[in-house]
Amino acid sequence: MHAIEASHLNKFAQALFREYKKVDAICLHAVRIEGDGLTFPLLRTEFSEDYLLSLPDSAEAWKASLSSQTLEKIRYHYRRSCRKQPDLSFRQIEGSDMSDTQFDRILQFSQARFRAKASHSI
């Protein structure tokens, strides 16, 4: 989720509406507007992709919170992936141990998955 100052959004909207007369709305996803003073009407709706979830303190606690059906699906996909790619390996990276490059790569995988489903990614 990204934060944007209301004053910056006002300037952006004013410039956009001034330059492109046919534009009558701006749609932003996963954006939190900070401050007061929006000069344009605002319609706010939540999308499931926009929810922030609090994660457990450890991977073990997270795994323990999963249903048996979800755990079975994970095992199924792991075994299937290993059959398709025998030299495949997995490792767990937590929080600050993850580099920006690794995070960006995961985001790219997620966006590719959304594109394959003909959906929109963040």
Between 42 and 25, the more confident residue is: 25
* Neighbour-count burial of 9, counting CB atoms closer than 10 A to its CB (0-12 exposed, 13-18 middle, 19+ buried): buried
Two tokens, residue 119: 């959906």
Residues 18, 21: Cα–Cα separation, whole Å: 6
37 contacts 9 by C-beta, under 8 angstroms: no
Residues 77, 51: Cα–Cα separation, whole Å: 26
pLDDT tens digits along 85-114: 999 888 888 778 888 899 889 889 888 888
pLDDT tens digits along 39-89: 888 877 766 665 667 888 888 898 899 999 999 999 999 999 999 999 988
